[in-house]
Structure 1
Protein backbone atom coordinates (compact mmCIF):
# COMPACT_ATOMS: atom_id res chain seq x y z
CA UNK A 1 0.00 0.00 0.00
CA UNK A 2 1.61 3.17 -1.25
CA UNK A 3 0.93 6.42 0.54
CA UNK A 4 1.85 9.90 -0.68
CA UNK A 5 4.55 11.44 1.44
CA UNK A 6 3.82 14.57 3.43
CA UNK A 7 4.82 17.91 1.95
CA UNK A 8 7.77 19.51 3.71
CA UNK A 9 8.12 23.19 4.55
CA UNK A 10 10.30 23.79 1.49
CA UNK A 11 7.82 22.05 -0.78
CA UNK A 12 4.92 24.09 0.65
CA UNK A 13 6.80 27.33 0.04
CA UNK A 14 7.80 26.22 -3.46
CA UNK A 15 4.19 25.46 -4.36
CA UNK A 16 3.03 28.75 -2.83
CA UNK A 17 5.53 30.79 -4.87
CA UNK A 18 4.77 28.75 -7.99
CA UNK A 19 1.04 29.38 -7.48
CA UNK A 20 1.65 33.12 -7.22
CA UNK A 21 3.94 33.37 -10.24
CA UNK A 22 2.09 30.97 -12.51
CA UNK A 23 -1.05 33.11 -12.79
CA UNK A 24 -0.67 36.82 -13.51
CA UNK A 25 -4.36 37.42 -12.77
CA UNK A 26 -4.00 36.00 -9.27
CA UNK A 27 -0.92 38.15 -8.66
CA UNK A 28 -2.84 41.24 -9.86
CA UNK A 29 -5.81 40.57 -7.58
CA UNK A 30 -3.56 39.94 -4.58
CA UNK A 31 -1.61 43.14 -5.30
CA UNK A 32 -4.77 45.27 -5.51
CA UNK A 33 -6.37 43.81 -2.38
CA UNK A 34 -3.10 44.15 -0.42
CA UNK A 35 -2.54 47.78 -1.41
CA UNK A 36 -4.84 49.35 1.25
CA UNK A 37 -3.25 47.20 3.96
CA UNK A 38 0.23 48.16 2.75
CA UNK A 39 -0.55 51.90 2.91
CA UNK A 40 -2.03 51.59 6.39
CA UNK A 41 0.84 49.43 7.67
CA UNK A 42 3.35 52.20 6.91
CA UNK A 43 1.47 54.51 9.26
CA UNK A 44 0.89 51.73 11.80
CA UNK A 45 4.51 50.58 11.83
CA UNK A 46 5.74 54.13 12.44
CA UNK A 47 3.39 54.33 15.43
CA UNK A 48 4.54 50.90 16.61
CA UNK A 49 8.22 51.86 16.30
CA UNK A 50 7.66 54.97 18.40
CA UNK A 51 5.73 53.00 21.04
CA UNK A 52 8.44 50.34 21.27
CA UNK A 53 11.13 53.02 21.48
CA UNK A 54 9.40 54.79 24.38
CA UNK A 55 8.71 51.43 26.07
CA UNK A 56 12.38 50.48 25.87
CA UNK A 57 13.44 53.89 27.22
CA UNK A 58 10.97 53.65 30.09
CA UNK A 59 11.99 50.13 31.12
CA UNK A 60 15.68 50.94 30.72
CA UNK A 61 15.31 53.97 32.98
CA UNK A 62 13.58 51.85 35.61
CA UNK A 63 16.41 49.31 35.56
CA UNK A 64 19.11 52.01 35.59
CA UNK A 65 17.42 53.98 38.38
CA UNK A 66 17.13 50.86 40.55
CA UNK A 67 20.78 50.09 39.89
CA UNK A 68 21.85 53.65 40.70
CA UNK A 69 19.76 53.64 43.87
CA UNK A 70 21.30 50.39 45.11
CA UNK A 71 24.83 51.62 44.36
CA UNK A 72 24.24 54.93 46.11
CA UNK A 73 22.61 53.52 49.25
CA UNK A 74 25.81 53.95 51.30
CA UNK A 75 26.42 57.39 49.85
CA UNK A 76 22.90 58.56 50.64
CA UNK A 77 23.29 57.51 54.24
CA UNK A 78 26.22 59.90 54.65
CA UNK A 79 24.85 62.92 52.72
CA UNK A 80 22.40 65.54 53.83
CA UNK A 81 18.66 65.56 53.19
CA UNK A 82 18.83 68.06 50.31
CA UNK A 83 21.04 65.76 48.25
CA UNK A 84 18.65 62.85 48.73
CA UNK A 85 15.65 65.04 47.92
CA UNK A 86 17.33 66.26 44.71
CA UNK A 87 18.01 62.70 43.54
CA UNK A 88 14.44 61.68 44.43
CA UNK A 89 12.95 64.61 42.47
CA UNK A 90 15.16 63.82 39.47
CA UNK A 91 13.96 60.22 39.48
CA UNK A 92 10.31 61.34 39.59
CA UNK A 93 10.91 63.71 36.66
CA UNK A 94 12.42 60.89 34.55
CA UNK A 95 9.55 58.54 35.37
CA UNK A 96 6.88 61.17 34.65
CA UNK A 97 8.45 62.15 31.31
CA UNK A 98 8.69 58.51 30.24
CA UNK A 99 5.07 57.80 31.20
CA UNK A 100 3.85 60.99 29.49
CA UNK A 101 5.52 59.90 26.26
CA UNK A 102 4.63 56.22 26.48
CA UNK A 103 0.97 56.11 27.53
CA UNK A 104 -0.53 58.21 24.66
CA UNK A 105 1.44 56.27 22.05
CA UNK A 106 0.48 52.96 23.65
CA UNK A 107 -3.22 53.86 23.53
CA UNK A 108 -2.96 55.14 19.96
CA UNK A 109 -1.15 52.03 18.68
CA UNK A 110 -3.60 49.70 20.45
CA UNK A 111 -6.60 51.47 18.91
CA UNK A 112 -5.02 51.34 15.45
CA UNK A 113 -4.40 47.63 15.86
CA UNK A 114 -7.84 46.63 17.13
CA UNK A 115 -9.96 48.45 14.58
CA UNK A 116 -8.45 49.55 11.24
CA UNK A 117 -5.70 46.93 11.11
CA UNK A 118 -7.89 43.94 12.02
CA UNK A 119 -10.58 45.02 9.53
CA UNK A 120 -8.13 45.47 6.65
CA UNK A 121 -6.27 42.29 7.55
CA UNK A 122 -9.54 40.30 7.55
CA UNK A 123 -10.58 41.61 4.12
CA UNK A 124 -7.12 41.02 2.66
CA UNK A 125 -6.77 37.52 4.11
CA UNK A 126 -10.23 36.42 2.97
CA UNK A 127 -9.63 37.65 -0.57
CA UNK A 128 -6.16 36.08 -0.84
CA UNK A 129 -7.34 32.70 0.46
CA UNK A 130 -10.45 32.63 -1.74
CA UNK A 131 -8.69 33.67 -4.95
CA UNK A 132 -5.65 31.44 -4.45
CA UNK A 133 -7.81 28.40 -3.65
CA UNK A 134 -9.84 28.93 -6.82
CA UNK A 135 -6.66 29.04 -8.93
CA UNK A 136 -5.10 26.09 -7.06
CA UNK A 137 -8.11 23.80 -7.56
CA UNK A 138 -9.22 25.06 -10.97
CA UNK A 139 -8.70 22.85 -14.00
CA UNK A 140 -9.12 25.76 -16.41
CA UNK A 141 -5.89 27.00 -17.99
CA UNK A 142 -5.55 29.92 -17.83
CA UNK A 143 -8.30 31.26 -15.56
CA UNK A 144 -9.62 34.57 -16.88
CA UNK A 145 -9.38 37.71 -14.73
CA UNK A 146 -13.10 38.55 -14.72
CA UNK A 147 -14.04 34.97 -13.95
CA UNK A 148 -11.54 34.84 -11.09
CA UNK A 149 -12.78 38.15 -9.70
CA UNK A 150 -16.41 37.06 -9.92
CA UNK A 151 -15.81 33.72 -8.20
CA UNK A 152 -13.64 35.33 -5.52
CA UNK A 153 -16.28 37.95 -4.75
CA UNK A 154 -18.94 35.24 -4.54
CA UNK A 155 -16.88 33.24 -2.06
CA UNK A 156 -16.06 36.44 -0.16
CA UNK A 157 -19.74 37.37 0.20
CA UNK A 158 -20.77 33.91 1.40
CA UNK A 159 -17.94 33.47 3.91
CA UNK A 160 -17.32 36.98 5.28
CA UNK A 161 -19.70 36.61 8.25
CA UNK A 162 -18.23 33.30 9.36
CA UNK A 163 -14.67 34.56 8.79
CA UNK A 164 -15.42 37.56 10.98
CA UNK A 165 -16.55 35.30 13.84
CA UNK A 166 -13.48 33.09 13.49
CA UNK A 167 -11.23 36.14 13.25
CA UNK A 168 -12.68 37.53 16.49
CA UNK A 169 -11.98 34.19 18.19
CA UNK A 170 -8.42 34.24 16.87
CA UNK A 171 -7.95 37.87 17.89
CA UNK A 172 -9.20 37.16 21.42
CA UNK A 173 -7.01 34.08 21.80
CA UNK A 174 -3.86 35.64 20.32
CA UNK A 175 -4.20 38.86 22.33
CA UNK A 176 -4.81 36.97 25.58
CA UNK A 177 -1.86 34.65 25.00
CA UNK A 178 0.39 37.55 24.02
CA UNK A 179 -0.51 39.54 27.13
CA UNK A 180 0.14 36.43 29.22
CA UNK A 181 3.55 35.86 27.56
CA UNK A 182 4.58 39.52 27.69
CA UNK A 183 5.85 39.44 31.32
CA UNK A 184 8.01 36.40 30.49
CA UNK A 185 9.33 38.22 27.42
CA UNK A 186 10.28 41.31 29.42
CA UNK A 187 11.67 39.14 32.21
CA UNK A 188 13.96 37.37 29.76
CA UNK A 189 15.37 40.45 28.05
CA UNK A 190 15.58 42.91 30.92
CA UNK A 191 16.21 40.28 33.57
CA UNK A 192 19.02 38.54 31.73
CA UNK A 193 20.64 41.34 29.80
CA UNK A 194 20.31 44.13 32.35
CA UNK A 195 19.88 43.07 35.96
CA UNK A 196 21.86 39.85 35.90
CA UNK A 197 24.53 41.36 33.66
CA UNK A 198 25.13 43.98 36.33
CA UNK A 199 25.28 41.28 38.98
CA UNK A 200 27.86 39.44 36.94
CA UNK A 201 29.99 42.58 36.55
CA UNK A 202 29.84 43.02 40.31
CA UNK A 203 30.93 39.49 41.13
CA UNK A 204 33.78 39.73 38.65
CA UNK A 205 35.41 42.20 41.01
CA UNK A 206 35.45 39.60 43.75
CA UNK A 207 38.04 36.92 44.38
CA UNK A 208 38.03 33.74 42.27
CA UNK A 209 36.76 31.70 45.22
CA UNK A 210 33.84 34.06 45.80
CA UNK A 211 32.97 34.05 42.07
CA UNK A 212 32.02 30.37 41.74
CA UNK A 213 28.69 30.30 43.57
CA UNK A 214 27.29 33.62 42.17
CA UNK A 215 28.33 32.60 38.66
CA UNK A 216 26.57 29.23 39.01
CA UNK A 217 23.43 30.97 40.26
CA UNK A 218 23.59 33.40 37.35
CA UNK A 219 24.05 30.55 34.83
CA UNK A 220 21.10 28.62 36.28
CA UNK A 221 18.82 31.67 36.16
CA UNK A 222 19.78 32.38 32.53
CA UNK A 223 19.22 28.72 31.63
CA UNK A 224 15.78 28.60 33.26
CA UNK A 225 14.68 31.89 31.72
CA UNK A 226 15.96 30.94 28.26
CA UNK A 227 14.28 27.51 28.42
CA UNK A 228 10.99 29.03 29.55
CA UNK A 229 11.18 31.70 26.86
CA UNK A 230 11.84 29.16 24.07
CA UNK A 231 9.10 26.84 25.33
CA UNK A 232 6.50 29.61 25.41
CA UNK A 233 7.60 30.87 22.00
CA UNK A 234 7.23 27.37 20.51
CA UNK A 235 3.77 27.04 22.07
CA UNK A 236 2.68 30.42 20.70
CA UNK A 237 3.93 29.52 17.21
CA UNK A 238 2.13 26.15 17.32
CA UNK A 239 -1.14 27.80 18.30
CA UNK A 240 -0.65 30.50 15.65
CA UNK A 241 -0.42 27.80 12.98
CA UNK A 242 -3.76 26.39 14.16
CA UNK A 243 -5.36 29.83 14.21
CA UNK A 244 -4.20 30.55 10.66
CA UNK A 245 -5.56 27.22 9.44
CA UNK A 246 -8.91 27.95 11.11
CA UNK A 247 -9.23 31.14 9.05
CA UNK A 248 -8.53 29.15 5.89
CA UNK A 249 -11.17 26.61 6.97
CA UNK A 250 -13.72 29.40 7.49
CA UNK A 251 -13.14 30.67 3.95
CA UNK A 252 -12.96 27.37 2.06
CA UNK A 253 -14.79 24.69 4.04
CA UNK A 254 -18.37 24.00 2.96
CA UNK A 255 -21.15 22.64 5.13
CA UNK A 256 -24.66 21.56 4.36
CA UNK A 257 -26.11 19.85 1.33
CA UNK A 258 -25.92 22.90 -0.92
CA UNK A 259 -22.47 23.92 0.35
CA UNK A 260 -23.71 27.44 1.10
CA UNK A 261 -23.07 27.22 4.84
CA UNK A 262 -19.57 27.59 6.16
CA UNK A 263 -17.75 26.42 9.26
CA UNK A 264 -16.64 29.09 11.68
CA UNK A 265 -15.82 29.86 15.29
CA UNK A 266 -15.01 26.94 17.57
CA UNK A 267 -15.99 24.47 14.84
CA UNK A 268 -13.35 25.94 12.55
CA UNK A 269 -10.74 25.73 15.30
CA UNK A 270 -11.62 22.09 16.00
CA UNK A 271 -11.57 21.13 12.30
CA UNK A 272 -8.26 22.95 11.90
CA UNK A 273 -6.76 20.88 14.72
CA UNK A 274 -8.05 17.69 13.08
CA UNK A 275 -6.60 18.57 9.68
CA UNK A 276 -3.22 19.38 11.23
CA UNK A 277 -2.77 16.06 13.02
CA UNK A 278 0.60 14.67 12.06
CA UNK A 279 1.73 18.00 10.59
CA UNK A 280 2.33 19.96 13.80
CA UNK A 281 6.12 19.96 13.56
CA UNK A 282 6.05 21.11 9.93
CA UNK A 283 3.59 23.91 10.73
CA UNK A 284 5.70 25.08 13.67
CA UNK A 285 8.81 25.34 11.50
CA UNK A 286 6.90 27.19 8.80
CA UNK A 287 5.38 29.70 11.23
CA UNK A 288 8.76 30.12 12.92
CA UNK A 289 10.29 30.94 9.54
CA UNK A 290 7.74 33.69 8.87
CA UNK A 291 8.08 35.01 12.44
CA UNK A 292 11.86 35.28 12.15
CA UNK A 293 11.46 36.94 8.74
CA UNK A 294 9.07 39.55 10.18
CA UNK A 295 11.33 40.26 13.18
CA UNK A 296 14.53 40.46 11.13
CA UNK A 297 13.00 42.87 8.60
CA UNK A 298 11.85 45.15 11.42
CA UNK A 299 15.09 45.16 13.42
CA UNK A 300 17.10 47.69 11.30
CA UNK A 301 14.35 50.31 11.57
CA UNK A 302 13.82 49.64 15.27
CA UNK A 303 17.54 49.91 15.92
CA UNK A 304 17.97 53.12 13.90
CA UNK A 305 14.65 54.60 15.19
CA UNK A 306 13.19 55.33 11.76
CA UNK A 307 10.01 56.81 13.23
CA UNK A 308 12.05 59.57 14.91
CA UNK A 309 13.92 60.43 11.70
CA UNK A 310 12.71 63.80 10.37
CA UNK A 311 14.54 63.66 7.03
CA UNK A 312 11.99 61.35 5.37
CA UNK A 313 14.36 58.40 5.12
CA UNK A 314 12.65 56.74 8.06
CA UNK A 315 9.33 56.62 6.18
CA UNK A 316 11.13 55.30 3.08
CA UNK A 317 12.90 52.52 5.00
CA UNK A 318 9.64 51.67 6.78
CA UNK A 319 7.85 51.43 3.43
CA UNK A 320 10.52 49.05 2.12
CA UNK A 321 10.29 46.59 4.99
CA UNK A 322 6.47 46.87 5.12
CA UNK A 323 6.49 45.81 1.48
CA UNK A 324 8.66 42.82 2.37
CA UNK A 325 6.33 41.92 5.23
CA UNK A 326 3.30 42.10 2.89
CA UNK A 327 5.05 39.80 0.42
CA UNK A 328 5.87 37.38 3.24
CA UNK A 329 2.26 37.58 4.43
CA UNK A 330 0.98 36.67 0.95
CA UNK A 331 3.36 33.71 0.70
CA UNK A 332 2.28 32.58 4.18
CA UNK A 333 -1.41 32.49 3.27
CA UNK A 334 -0.72 30.79 -0.04
CA UNK A 335 1.29 28.14 1.84
CA UNK A 336 -1.62 27.74 4.28
CA UNK A 337 -4.01 27.21 1.34
CA UNK A 338 -1.71 24.56 -0.15
CA UNK A 339 -1.38 22.92 3.27
CA UNK A 340 -5.16 22.95 3.75
CA UNK A 341 -5.84 21.17 0.46
CA UNK A 342 -3.03 18.69 1.12
CA UNK A 343 -4.34 17.89 4.62
CA UNK A 344 -7.95 17.67 3.41
CA UNK A 345 -7.32 15.37 0.46
CA UNK A 346 -4.83 13.10 2.26
CA UNK A 347 -7.53 11.05 4.10
CA UNK A 348 -9.33 10.57 0.79
CA UNK A 349 -6.13 9.42 -0.91
CA UNK A 350 -5.45 7.03 1.96
CA UNK A 351 -8.98 5.63 1.69
CA UNK A 352 -8.56 5.15 -2.07
CA UNK A 353 -5.21 3.41 -1.55
CA UNK A 354 -6.78 1.10 1.03
CA UNK A 355 -9.62 0.22 -1.33
CA UNK A 356 -7.13 -0.52 -4.14
CA UNK A 357 -5.02 -2.67 -1.82
CA UNK A 358 -7.94 -4.88 -0.80
CA UNK A 359 -8.03 -8.28 -2.50
CA UNK A 360 -10.88 -8.76 -4.96
CA UNK A 361 -13.97 -10.37 -3.59
CA UNK A 362 -14.44 -14.05 -4.43
Structure 2
Protein backbone atom coordinates (compact mmCIF):
# COMPACT_ATOMS: atom_id res chain seq x y z
CA UNK A 1 0.00 0.00 0.00
CA UNK A 2 2.87 2.38 0.77
CA UNK A 3 4.49 1.65 -2.61
CA UNK A 4 1.16 2.13 -4.41
CA UNK A 5 0.46 5.47 -2.70
CA UNK A 6 3.93 6.83 -3.46
CA UNK A 7 3.65 5.84 -7.12
CA UNK A 8 0.06 7.11 -7.32
CA UNK A 9 0.91 10.55 -5.92
CA UNK A 10 3.98 10.88 -8.14
CA UNK A 11 1.71 10.09 -11.10
CA UNK A 12 -0.71 12.78 -9.90
CA UNK A 13 2.12 15.32 -9.93
CA UNK A 14 3.15 14.25 -13.42
CA UNK A 15 -0.46 14.42 -14.62
CA UNK A 16 -0.77 17.93 -13.21
CA UNK A 17 2.32 19.03 -15.15
CA UNK A 18 0.91 17.44 -18.32
CA UNK A 19 -2.38 19.32 -18.15
CA UNK A 20 -0.91 22.52 -16.66
CA UNK A 21 2.57 22.82 -18.24
CA UNK A 22 4.92 25.70 -17.51
CA UNK A 23 5.77 26.08 -21.19
CA UNK A 24 3.03 25.39 -23.73
CA UNK A 25 5.03 24.01 -26.65
CA UNK A 26 3.38 20.63 -27.23
CA UNK A 27 -0.18 19.37 -26.99
CA UNK A 28 -1.38 17.04 -24.23
CA UNK A 29 -0.97 13.82 -26.21
CA UNK A 30 2.66 14.65 -27.04
CA UNK A 31 3.45 15.20 -23.34
CA UNK A 32 2.07 11.75 -22.46
CA UNK A 33 5.11 9.59 -23.27
CA UNK A 34 5.49 5.81 -23.02
CA UNK A 35 6.84 5.98 -19.46
CA UNK A 36 3.67 7.75 -18.34
CA UNK A 37 1.45 5.06 -19.88
CA UNK A 38 3.57 2.31 -18.29
CA UNK A 39 3.14 3.96 -14.89
CA UNK A 40 -0.63 3.99 -15.36
CA UNK A 41 -0.65 0.30 -16.32
CA UNK A 42 1.55 -0.55 -13.33
CA UNK A 43 -0.74 1.33 -10.95
CA UNK A 44 -3.77 -0.44 -12.38
CA UNK A 45 -2.22 -3.88 -11.95
CA UNK A 46 -1.12 -3.15 -8.38
CA UNK A 47 -4.59 -1.87 -7.51
CA UNK A 48 -6.47 -4.80 -9.06
CA UNK A 49 -4.35 -7.68 -7.77
CA UNK A 50 -2.30 -7.28 -4.53
CA UNK A 51 -4.34 -4.44 -3.03
CA UNK A 52 -7.69 -6.09 -3.72
CA UNK A 53 -6.46 -9.44 -2.37
CA UNK A 54 -5.36 -7.59 0.76
CA UNK A 55 -8.82 -6.00 1.02
CA UNK A 56 -10.50 -9.41 0.64
CA UNK A 57 -8.27 -10.98 3.30
CA UNK A 58 -9.04 -8.20 5.78
CA UNK A 59 -12.76 -8.37 4.98
CA UNK A 60 -13.19 -12.10 5.42
CA UNK A 61 -11.11 -12.28 8.63
CA UNK A 62 -12.76 -9.22 10.20
CA UNK A 63 -16.33 -10.24 9.35
CA UNK A 64 -15.80 -13.87 10.39
CA UNK A 65 -14.27 -13.00 13.77
CA UNK A 66 -16.80 -10.23 14.42
CA UNK A 67 -19.70 -12.60 13.73
CA UNK A 68 -18.23 -15.14 16.17
CA UNK A 69 -17.93 -12.45 18.85
CA UNK A 70 -21.49 -11.22 18.29
CA UNK A 71 -22.87 -14.77 18.46
CA UNK A 72 -21.08 -15.44 21.77
CA UNK A 73 -22.09 -12.36 23.70
CA UNK A 74 -23.13 -14.25 26.83
CA UNK A 75 -20.03 -16.46 26.84
CA UNK A 76 -16.57 -15.08 27.40
CA UNK A 77 -14.58 -15.87 24.26
CA UNK A 78 -10.80 -16.28 24.23
CA UNK A 79 -8.51 -15.74 21.26
CA UNK A 80 -8.10 -19.50 20.97
CA UNK A 81 -11.87 -19.98 20.78
CA UNK A 82 -12.12 -17.45 17.97
CA UNK A 83 -9.67 -19.37 15.77
CA UNK A 84 -10.77 -22.92 16.70
CA UNK A 85 -13.39 -22.98 13.94
CA UNK A 86 -11.70 -22.03 10.67
CA UNK A 87 -13.48 -20.61 7.65
CA UNK A 88 -14.86 -23.38 5.44
CA UNK A 89 -13.05 -23.66 2.11
CA UNK A 90 -16.29 -23.73 0.08
CA UNK A 91 -17.48 -20.53 1.77
CA UNK A 92 -14.09 -18.97 1.09
CA UNK A 93 -14.32 -19.80 -2.62
CA UNK A 94 -17.89 -18.51 -2.85
CA UNK A 95 -17.03 -15.30 -1.04
CA UNK A 96 -14.07 -14.76 -3.35
CA UNK A 97 -16.37 -15.15 -6.36
CA UNK A 98 -18.66 -12.47 -4.93
CA UNK A 99 -15.63 -10.29 -4.29
CA UNK A 100 -14.61 -10.56 -7.97
CA UNK A 101 -18.03 -9.20 -8.97
CA UNK A 102 -17.68 -6.39 -6.41
CA UNK A 103 -14.20 -5.45 -7.67
CA UNK A 104 -15.40 -5.44 -11.29
CA UNK A 105 -18.38 -3.20 -10.55
CA UNK A 106 -16.34 -0.88 -8.32
CA UNK A 107 -13.50 -0.53 -10.83
CA UNK A 108 -15.81 0.23 -13.77
CA UNK A 109 -17.54 3.01 -11.82
CA UNK A 110 -14.19 4.42 -10.69
CA UNK A 111 -13.06 4.49 -14.32
CA UNK A 112 -16.27 6.35 -15.15
CA UNK A 113 -15.44 8.99 -12.55
CA UNK A 114 -11.89 9.21 -13.90
CA UNK A 115 -13.21 9.67 -17.45
CA UNK A 116 -15.36 12.61 -16.30
CA UNK A 117 -12.36 14.24 -14.57
CA UNK A 118 -10.23 13.82 -17.72
CA UNK A 119 -12.98 15.45 -19.78
CA UNK A 120 -13.00 18.38 -17.35
CA UNK A 121 -9.23 18.82 -17.63
CA UNK A 122 -9.40 18.71 -21.43
CA UNK A 123 -12.35 21.15 -21.62
CA UNK A 124 -11.34 23.43 -18.73
CA UNK A 125 -10.94 26.46 -21.01
CA UNK A 126 -14.50 26.30 -22.36
CA UNK A 127 -17.59 28.06 -21.02
CA UNK A 128 -19.06 27.81 -17.53
CA UNK A 129 -22.03 25.94 -19.01
CA UNK A 130 -19.76 23.05 -20.02
CA UNK A 131 -18.14 23.13 -16.58
CA UNK A 132 -21.57 23.01 -14.91
CA UNK A 133 -22.65 20.06 -17.04
CA UNK A 134 -19.46 18.11 -16.27
CA UNK A 135 -19.68 18.90 -12.55
CA UNK A 136 -23.33 17.84 -12.45
CA UNK A 137 -22.50 14.58 -14.23
CA UNK A 138 -19.61 13.90 -11.82
CA UNK A 139 -21.84 14.53 -8.77
CA UNK A 140 -24.54 12.16 -10.07
CA UNK A 141 -22.09 9.38 -10.92
CA UNK A 142 -20.33 9.80 -7.54
CA UNK A 143 -23.66 9.56 -5.70
CA UNK A 144 -24.55 6.46 -7.71
CA UNK A 145 -21.14 4.93 -7.01
CA UNK A 146 -21.34 5.51 -3.24
CA UNK A 147 -24.92 4.29 -2.96
CA UNK A 148 -24.32 1.15 -4.98
CA UNK A 149 -21.00 0.47 -3.24
CA UNK A 150 -22.87 0.04 0.03
CA UNK A 151 -25.00 -2.66 -1.61
CA UNK A 152 -21.95 -4.34 -3.17
CA UNK A 153 -20.14 -4.38 0.17
CA UNK A 154 -23.24 -5.82 1.82
CA UNK A 155 -23.32 -8.61 -0.79
CA UNK A 156 -19.80 -9.62 0.29
CA UNK A 157 -20.85 -9.60 3.94
CA UNK A 158 -23.84 -11.74 2.95
CA UNK A 159 -21.56 -14.24 1.20
CA UNK A 160 -19.31 -14.60 4.24
CA UNK A 161 -22.11 -14.86 6.81
CA UNK A 162 -24.95 -16.52 4.88
CA UNK A 163 -23.13 -18.49 2.19
CA UNK A 164 -25.07 -16.78 -0.64
CA UNK A 165 -22.42 -16.32 -3.28
CA UNK A 166 -21.70 -14.87 -6.68
CA UNK A 167 -24.39 -13.26 -8.76
CA UNK A 168 -27.11 -14.44 -6.33
CA UNK A 169 -25.82 -12.19 -3.55
CA UNK A 170 -26.01 -8.94 -5.57
CA UNK A 171 -29.79 -8.75 -6.23
CA UNK A 172 -30.50 -10.01 -2.72
CA UNK A 173 -28.41 -7.19 -1.22
CA UNK A 174 -30.32 -4.72 -3.38
CA UNK A 175 -33.58 -6.16 -2.03
CA UNK A 176 -32.39 -6.01 1.57
CA UNK A 177 -31.22 -2.41 1.26
CA UNK A 178 -34.61 -1.05 0.17
CA UNK A 179 -35.49 1.82 2.48
CA UNK A 180 -31.87 2.05 3.71
CA UNK A 181 -30.25 3.64 0.65
CA UNK A 182 -29.63 6.94 2.40
CA UNK A 183 -27.96 5.22 5.33
CA UNK A 184 -25.74 3.18 3.01
CA UNK A 185 -24.85 6.31 1.05
CA UNK A 186 -23.92 8.12 4.25
CA UNK A 187 -21.69 5.24 5.43
CA UNK A 188 -19.84 5.03 2.12
CA UNK A 189 -19.48 8.81 2.00
CA UNK A 190 -17.70 8.79 5.38
CA UNK A 191 -15.17 6.13 4.38
CA UNK A 192 -14.68 7.57 0.90
CA UNK A 193 -14.12 11.09 2.25
CA UNK A 194 -11.70 9.81 4.90
CA UNK A 195 -9.59 7.97 2.31
CA UNK A 196 -9.47 10.91 -0.09
CA UNK A 197 -8.74 13.37 2.72
CA UNK A 198 -5.71 11.34 3.81
CA UNK A 199 -4.51 10.85 0.25
CA UNK A 200 -4.72 14.46 -0.88
CA UNK A 201 -3.41 15.82 2.42
CA UNK A 202 -0.31 13.70 1.93
CA UNK A 203 -0.14 14.84 -1.70
CA UNK A 204 -0.47 18.50 -0.70
CA UNK A 205 2.36 18.42 1.87
CA UNK A 206 4.56 16.35 -0.46
CA UNK A 207 4.73 13.37 1.90
CA UNK A 208 5.42 11.01 -1.00
CA UNK A 209 8.83 12.67 -1.54
CA UNK A 210 10.20 11.70 1.89
CA UNK A 211 7.99 8.70 2.61
CA UNK A 212 7.14 9.63 6.22
CA UNK A 213 3.85 11.26 5.26
CA UNK A 214 2.87 8.22 3.20
CA UNK A 215 3.60 5.83 6.07
CA UNK A 216 1.35 7.92 8.33
CA UNK A 217 -1.36 8.11 5.66
CA UNK A 218 -1.39 4.35 5.07
CA UNK A 219 -1.31 3.63 8.80
CA UNK A 220 -4.36 5.82 9.46
CA UNK A 221 -6.15 4.33 6.46
CA UNK A 222 -5.41 0.74 7.55
CA UNK A 223 -6.93 1.46 10.96
CA UNK A 224 -10.25 2.27 9.26
CA UNK A 225 -10.45 -0.73 6.89
CA UNK A 226 -11.44 -3.34 9.55
CA UNK A 227 -13.83 -0.79 11.08
CA UNK A 228 -15.50 -0.41 7.67
CA UNK A 229 -16.25 -4.13 7.44
CA UNK A 230 -17.56 -4.26 11.01
CA UNK A 231 -19.85 -1.32 10.20
CA UNK A 232 -21.14 -3.03 7.06
CA UNK A 233 -21.75 -6.24 8.99
CA UNK A 234 -23.93 -4.23 11.40
CA UNK A 235 -25.56 -2.51 8.41
CA UNK A 236 -26.35 -5.90 6.86
CA UNK A 237 -27.89 -7.22 10.08
CA UNK A 238 -30.00 -4.06 10.37
CA UNK A 239 -31.21 -4.32 6.77
CA UNK A 240 -31.91 -8.02 7.20
CA UNK A 241 -33.97 -7.39 10.34
CA UNK A 242 -35.95 -4.63 8.61
CA UNK A 243 -36.56 -6.92 5.63
CA UNK A 244 -37.82 -9.78 7.82
CA UNK A 245 -40.12 -7.47 9.81
CA UNK A 246 -41.55 -6.08 6.59
CA UNK A 247 -42.07 -9.59 5.21
CA UNK A 248 -43.88 -10.70 8.39
CA UNK A 249 -46.09 -7.59 8.26
CA UNK A 250 -47.00 -8.33 4.64
CA UNK A 251 -47.89 -11.93 5.52
CA UNK A 252 -50.08 -10.74 8.40
CA UNK A 253 -51.76 -8.17 6.15
CA UNK A 254 -50.45 -5.14 8.05
User: If the length of structure 1 is used for normalisation, what is the TM-score?
Assistant: 0.63
Paired position in structure 2 for 1:340:
236
* 2:66 counterpart (128, 132, 151): 132
* 2:13 counterpart (46, 53, 56): 53
Paired position in structure 1 for 2:212:
316
1:154 corresponds to 2:82: no
Which protein has greater RCO, CA pairs closer than 8 Å, 6+ apart? Answer: 1
The root-mean-square deviation of aligned C-alpha atoms, in Å, is 2.7
In structure 2, C-alpha distance between the alignment counterparts of 1:330 and 1:173, rounded to whole Å: 21
In structure 2, C-alpha distance between the alignment counterparts of 1:189 and 1:283, rounded to whole Å: 31
Per-residue CA deviations over 1:101-141 (Å, capped at 9, x if unaligned) read 41222122122122211222211111111111221232334
User: If the length of structure 2 is used for normalisation, what is the TM-score?
Assistant: 0.88
Paired position in structure 1 for 2:95:
163
* 2:54 counterpart (117, 120, 145): 120
Structure 1: which 5+ residue stretches go unaligned?
1-40, 69-89, 197-217, 254-261
1:222 corresponds to 2:134: no
Paired position in structure 2 for 1:268:
169
The alignment of Structure 1 onto Structure 2 pairs a total of residues equal to 254
CA 1:113–1:349 in 2, change beyond 3 Å: closer, same or farther? Answer: same
CA 1:232–1:124 in 2, change beyond 3 Å: closer, same or farther? Answer: same
Which protein shows a greater Rg? Answer: 1
* 1:179 counterpart (105, 108, 111): 111
Structure 2: which 5+ residue stretches go unaligned?
none
How far apart are 1:149 and its partner, in Å?
1.6
Three-state SS of the structure 2 residue aligned to 1:130 is helix
In structure 2, C-alpha distance between the alignment counterparts of 1:341 and 1:267, rounded to whole Å: 18
* 1:238 counterpart (147, 160, 165): 147
CA 1:178–1:352 in 2, change beyond 3 Å: closer, same or farther? Answer: closer
1:289 corresponds to 2:190: yes
